[in-house]
Chains A and B, each alone.
Chain A
Amino acid sequence: MTADELCDLEIAAVAPLLRDKELSPVELAEAYLARIERLDPTLNTYIRVLPEAALAAARQAEDDIRRGGWRGPLHGVPVGIKDLFDLARVPTTMGSTVLRDNVPQLDATVVSHLKAAGAVILGKQNLHEFAFGITSENPHYGAVHNPWDLGRVPGGSSGGTAAAVAAGLCAAGLGSDTGASIRAPASFCGTVGLKPTYGRVSRAGALPLAWSLDHAGPLARSVADCAVMLQAIAGYDQRDAASSIEPVPDFSARLARGVAGLRLGIPREYFFEIIEPDVDRVVRQAISTLEQLGARVEEVSLPHVRDAQIAGNVIMSSEAAAWHHDWLRERPHEYGADVLQRIRGGLLVRATEYLHSQQMRTLIQQDFAQAFTRVDVVLGPTVPIVAPPIGRTFEPGGPLNLPPRAIANRTTVPCNLTGMPAISIPCGFSDGLPVGLQIMGAAFAEPLVLQVAAAYESATDWRRHKPTFRSATEAITER
């Protein structure tokens, strides 16, 4: 097997090779590091690669496994982490220059969980500045490029992580999601991305964007790999005030159960009202596939969801403004223009508007609670558009002739408001660009969400499609 073929392997395939000592964790880490060195100057997915630390962790994993101490499916597996999670003694920049010299002394809880599972951390990945945006066009560390089309954004804010997973620059990654930031980049890059239930995964040691909306979660190349990552990072943490004591189930236990007899809800309002026609076609085809697999499809009404985007944006900008308050006055020149404008907008929000938005959150939660009395999960598009071109995300464009930044979190933010788990999985292509299907479940129903996602994934071959960035890279080099 060549080094590039090793980097193509999903965790489910590489873990048994590592466990059975047929593959060395050092060889695997070296393959990833070489691939990063070769391709990341073009894709720009990492802010900081950590070759020495990664190889040291890989050597440790090799020793442990040789002595019979295999810890599980992440042992010796190279992963990346978005650069808003603390890794002890390595700067956490959050994609900003304000935090260029912010060097934590402790690992984020999720990072310590990944280390305990034996994962090899390759580096810290690029993101939209302060995680406040959906493009990952970072003014300080450069734009991340989508491996499916280097002229397009990978989505954001976890754009570096999604692009790296898609391009084989890490086996899986750790992202965060405040309005779309795991699921939108997963959709744009053709990967799987899961936003767990609020409180399921600790955010301790992750710099905040908006406390009441922030979630940490995995991005991976398959649903099974996503379940493995979630298993490693889920659980109560006294360091996170919002952490839940809900028991952690086996997230892989139901992956093979199929969807026969399950009830799938399709929202009557909002989710399919503003959507590129080809994305609409691809998502509806995916729903038909699930129906053919034995699920029952039923329309559900979520009348208050139409106000989700404004409520989400009000809460997000207000909470962000509170966290950034001092820097906004002392160091505004260190912010990129778009993020500065959005956070300053939060300073203008009045308390009544913030609280009305929080009340709207309650109404949306009630709508979903009502829907879940009739259906098991709710389906829709992850994002109503495909990845837009870099540098043209403020202006109207695409088949809808709308600014991508204005609509990209439209169908994801409802689950940040409700705290419900939601996953994006690849479900086809529009003009050669990936489209994501979003599966939303009731609180703490990750096993069911993963079950539906796995059933769809196993009935289709979308995840076997690989980005053609290599030829695109060659084309850029030739230019």
Chain B
Amino acid sequence: MPEPTSGQMVKEIIVAELTDQEVSALVEGYATLARSVAAFPGADLKRVEPPLRSVPGPRT
């Protein structure tokens, strides 16, 4: 899925009436977030898993 970096893309994802000001704030907010996450130390990320685990289901 492409990054939500255009106003049109943001509108398609949000599915709501948005003002131009709201769209540009969302685009700018996402761009900041994406830049910050992209700056995470990639080599460190490669060596760990997220703390998500499968939990065994009920046993009857």
Asked if A pairs with B, the answer is yes
Residue ranges of A at the interface with B (Cβ–Cβ < 8 Å): 304, 307, 310-311, 313-314, 328-329, 332, 341, 344-345, 347-350, 353, 355-363, 365-366
Given contacts A329-B15, A348-B4, A363-B45, contact A314 B33 (CB under 8 A): yes
B50 near A314 (CB under 8 angstroms)? no
Given contacts A345-B29, A356-B37, A361-B51, contact A329 B44 (CB under 8 A): no
Besides A359-B49, A362-B50, 6 new A-B residue pairs in contact (Cβ under 8 A), listed by A number: A314-B37, A329-B16, A341-B22, A353-B34, A357-B37, A362-B49
- Most chain-A CB neighbours within 10 Å: which of B4, B25, B37, B39? B37
List the A residue with the shortest CB-CB distance to B39: A307
Q: How far is the CB of B2 from chain A (nearest CB, A)?
A: 10
Q: Would you list which residues of chain B between 8 and 54 have a CB under 8 Å from chain A? A: 10, 13-16, 22, 25-26, 29-30, 33-34, 36-37, 39-41, 44-45, 48-52
Closest 7 CB pairs of A and B: A358-B50, A310-B36, A362-B48, A348-B4, A348-B30, A353-B37, A359-B45
Q: How far is the CB of A153 from chain B (nearest CB, A)?
A: 22
List the B residue with the shortest CB-CB distance to A341: B25
Size range of the interface on B? 20 to 34
Given contacts A348-B10, A350-B3, contact A359 B50 (CB under 8 A): yes
Q: How far is the CB of B44 from chain A (nearest CB, A)?
A: 6
B16 near A358 (CB under 8 angstroms)? no
Complex-state Cα separation, A344 to B16, whole angstroms? 10
Subset of 8 A-B contacts with CB under 8 Å: A304-B41, A332-B16, A345-B26, A353-B34, A359-B45, A359-B49, A362-B51, A363-B48
A350 near B1 (CB under 8 angstroms)? yes
A307 near B10 (CB under 8 angstroms)? no
B16 near A366 (CB under 8 angstroms)? no
Given contacts A328-B16, A344-B26, A347-B14, contact A353 B33 (CB under 8 A): yes
Residues on B with beta carbons closer than 8 Å to the beta carbon of A344: 14, 16, 26
Interface SS majority for chain A: helix
A360 near B26 (CB under 8 angstroms)? no
Complex-state Cα separation, A311 to B44, whole angstroms? 14
Residues on B with beta carbons closer than 8 Å to the beta carbon of A348: 4, 10, 13-14, 26, 29-30, 33
Q: How far is the CB of A235 from chain B (nearest CB, A)?
A: 20
B33 near A313 (CB under 8 angstroms)? yes
Complex-state Cα separation, A354 to B9, whole angstroms? 19
A310 near B33 (CB under 8 angstroms)? yes
Residues on A with beta carbons closer than 8 Å to the beta carbon of B25: 341
Residues on A with beta carbons closer than 8 Å to the beta carbon of B14: 328, 344, 347-348
Q: How far is the CB of B55 from chain A (nearest CB, A)?
A: 8
Complex-state Cα separation, A332 to B26, whole angstroms? 15
Complex-state Cα separation, A362 to B1, whole angstroms? 26
Residues on B with beta carbons closer than 8 Å to the beta carbon of A313: 33
Complex-state Cα separation, A363 to B9, whole angstroms? 32
List the A residue with the shortest CB-CB distance to B25: A341
A358 near B51 (CB under 8 angstroms)? yes
Residues on B with beta carbons closer than 8 Å to the beta carbon of A347: 13-14
B33 near A345 (CB under 8 angstroms)? yes
List the A residue with the shortest CB-CB distance to B27: A348
Residues on A with beta carbons closer than 8 Å to the beta carbon of B40: 307, 311, 356, 359-360
Complex-state Cα separation, A341 to B36, whole angstroms? 19
A345 near B30 (CB under 8 angstroms)? yes
A361 near B50 (CB under 8 angstroms)? yes
Residues on B with beta carbons closer than 8 Å to the beta carbon of A361: 50-51
Q: How far is the CB of A43 from chain B (nearest CB, A)?
A: 32
List the B residue with the shortest CB-CB distance to A360: B40
Q: How far is the CB of B24 from chain A (nearest CB, A)?
A: 12
Complex-state Cα separation, A355 to B49, whole angstroms? 9
Residues on B with beta carbons closer than 8 Å to the beta carbon of A329: 15-16
Complex-state Cα separation, A313 to B40, whole angstroms? 14
Residues on A with beta carbons closer than 8 Å to the beta carbon of B45: 356, 359-360, 363
Q: How far is the CB of A332 from chain B (nearest CB, A)?
A: 5
Complex-state Cα separation, A304 to B40, whole angstroms? 9
Complex-state Cα separation, A355 to B15, whole angstroms? 24
Complex-state Cα separation, A49 to B9, whole angstroms? 45
Residues on A with beta carbons closer than 8 Å to the beta carbon of B10: 348
Q: How far is the CB of A370 from chain B (nearest CB, A)?
A: 13
- Most chain-B CB neighbours within 10 Å: which of A341, A345, A361? A345
Complex-state Cα separation, A17 to B13, whole angstroms? 59
* Partner among A310, A332, A365 whose Cβ is within 8 Å of the Cβ of B51: A365
Complex-state Cα separation, A328 to B22, whole angstroms? 14
Q: How far is the CB of A275 from chain B (nearest CB, A)?
A: 20
Residues on A with beta carbons closer than 8 Å to the beta carbon of B13: 347-348
Q: How far is the CB of A207 from chain B (nearest CB, A)?
A: 22
Q: How far is the CB of B46 from chain A (nearest CB, A)?
A: 9
Complex-state Cα separation, A348 to B3, whole angstroms? 8
